[in-house]
Every structure is written in C-alpha cells, then in structure tokens.
Amino acid sequence: MPAPDAGKRPDGRRLAPRWVRWGRWLLGLGLLAVLIRVAGPSQLAATFSQIDLGRAVEAVALSVLWLLLGACNVWILLRLVAPVPLSTFVPIYGTSWAASYLLPGQLGDATQVLLLRHHDVPVSRSGAVYLLDKAISLTWLFVVAAYGIGLYIPGIRGWWLALLPLGALIVSVGCVAILLRMRAREGGLLARLQGLVTSTLAELQGMMRHHGGALALNGTLTVVKWLINASYYWVTFRAFGFEVSFEAAATLPVMSSLVGYLPITVGGAGTTEWTATFLFARVGATAATVVSAYLFLRVLHLSIALLLTALPQRAAAGASGRS
C-alpha cells in the first residue's frame, strides 16, 4: 500500500505551510548534527564498531515483537467496530508508523484513520479507536514518566507532569464544546465537522460503556508493550557496551519519547535524542553511547515499519457507511 501524502490531512488539505514543514525537517537534522558533533564523530564510529552483534539481534527481535504487539493492541479495539482482519491492519499500522517519521508530533500515527477509509471503515469509528488507544497508552506513559522524574531528577515533583495531559484534556473538551455550539449552515463544512465530532463521541461512549473487557485487555497489553520497550532499550545499550539498569531502561526512554510528541521537529528527530542524552548522563552513559543507541533504534524501527507496510493484505469485509 502506498504511503499517504505526508503533507495532507485526510480531507486533502495541507497540514501546514511548506516552509513550516521544511523548517521542522531542517531543525531536526540540525539538532542531530549538533548532537553528533558534541558526542564526537570518532567516538560514535568507535562505539558502532564495537557493537555486540548478538545483543543487536536480540534488540531486532524485541523491536519486531513490540511493533506487532502494538498493531494487535489497536486491532483489539478496531475489531469491535469494524470487520477488518488482523492481516489487513498490520500493514496499515506499519505504514502509519513509517509516516510518523515524516510528520511532526503524532500525526503519522493518525494516518491509520485515513488508510482505514480505503477499507470502508468510517472515520468516526477508526478515529474513536485511535483516540481511545492513544489515551490509554499516554496515560500509562505519563505515569511511568512521573515516576522517572521523581527518581532521576531531584527537586522536580513528578506529579506536575500530570498537569500537561490534564491541561490538554481541558483545552480539548473546551474546543469541542465551542465547536458543537457554533451555528453552522446545513451541508457546509462546519456542519459536516460537527457531525463527525458528534458521531466519534458517540462511538467512544459506546465502546467505553459496552466493551470494558476489551479496554482492560488493551490496557494490560499496553503495560506488556512497555516492558518489551524497556527490554529492547536494555539490550541495545548493552550491545553498545553500557550496562544500564532495567529500571533506567524502563523509565528514561519513556521520558525522552514524550518530548517527541511536541510538533517541534519531524518525528521528534533531535529533540528526543537530546533529551535522552541529558537523562542517560544521570546514570553514567556517554553521549556517544546514547546517540548510537537511539540512532540504531530509529533506523531499526523505520525499517521494520516499512517491512510491515509491504506485507500482503487480505481483503476486508465491508463496513457500514462512511463518515
């Protein structure tokens, strides 16, 4: 399946002016270039030349398992509202992951909503699934990050981190309330948008009310996925010669990954690596080791996502209607 236009929304409109998108690309590459300079090209080359291939293979296997489990976790919710086979959804999930390296913030992940439209899944249903899965995973990641802040950054209270998602939730609810109260011309763009929001909220309410078991399973697998995430960071750092504790591998990458959610650069390039370099320095890791590990995993995950994209798909049964 071809990747979606990285510069457009599902409705075909541009996400941002071209100079903004190119500026994010350049900023991310610039941050990475400066970080490589700080770490030292010769030290990076030496670190890569001494990589433990056995550990690297373990990291590859764990990363594949992590991405496949992520696809299954979303599909658990998707199958409640649309008859899309898992064999069809896995390539879609891989495509959205690959797109996440081309779009800022989490817009790449959201392209699965667009891709599912080609399988007759209404936007209101796929959007509800995406939002619910993302809410569950982000809730857990913020809990882990709050614990990590209290553990590795003395003087900062980890619970303050909860103010960020709480503030985002309040702003989102306020925006939705204002949108739904606006007077719209029948058949106009605003009216269609209000209809989409209303139907998506109805889908969310229905899933939360009638499918508690599936939500619990999704939450459980979110924790399992986090443990696998910690495992491949633990293995990767050891592959590059640094004996990181499992506790650090379970918390510090989560803290740095949350920075990548900010739409500053494309795919969090540069900002994630700089944050990780600062955090892992607190447990004794050199900049060369951190940059090597993170670049290795960035390339690895993109490669696996592209391989998943190329998997053959089985035709999905038609879903009722489009939104």
Residue 131 has pLDDT above 60, yes or no: yes
Using the predicted structure, report yes or no on whether residue 50 has a pLDDT greater than 70: yes
Residue 322 predicted with pLDDT over 50: no
If you search the block for the tokens 């955090």, which residue do you land on?
Answer: 279
d(CA 218, CA 138): 12
Greater confidence (51 vs 164) lies with 51
Kindly report the pTM of this predicted structure: 0.81
Interval 140-168 mean pLDDT: 76
Higher pLDDT: 240 or 31? It is 240
Residues 6+ apart with CB under 8 A from 9: 15
Task: Work out the average pLDDT over 142-155.
Answer: 84
Tokens, residue 254: 């989560």
Rounded Cα gap, residues 69 and 86, in angstroms: 11
Residue 216 within any structural domain of the chain: yes
Distance separating alpha carbons of residues 91 and 212, to the nearest angstrom: 27
CA distance 305 to 93: 8
Residue 116: inside a domain: yes
φ/ψ (deg, to 5) at 266: -80, 125
Residue 141 domain flag: yes
Residue 25: inside a domain: no
Domain total of the chain: 1
Range(s) of the domain holding residue 82: 52-287
Q: Is residue 80 part of a domain?
A: yes
pLDDT tens figures, 238-251: 999 999 999 999 99
Q: If we measure between CA atoms, which residue out of 81, 115, 80 comes closest to residue 96?
A: 115
Cα 6 to chain centroid, rounded: 16
Q: Which pLDDT value is given to residue 13?
A: 42
Residue found under tokens 């489990």 = 69
Residue 45 lies in a domain: no
At residue 14 the predicted structure's pLDDT band, cuts being 50, 70 and 90, is very low
Q: How far is CA 132 from CA 1, 73, 216, 218, in A?
A: 25, 11, 12, 10
| Residue 21 maps to a domain | no
20 occurs within a structural domain? no
Average confidence (pLDDT) over 6-16? 45
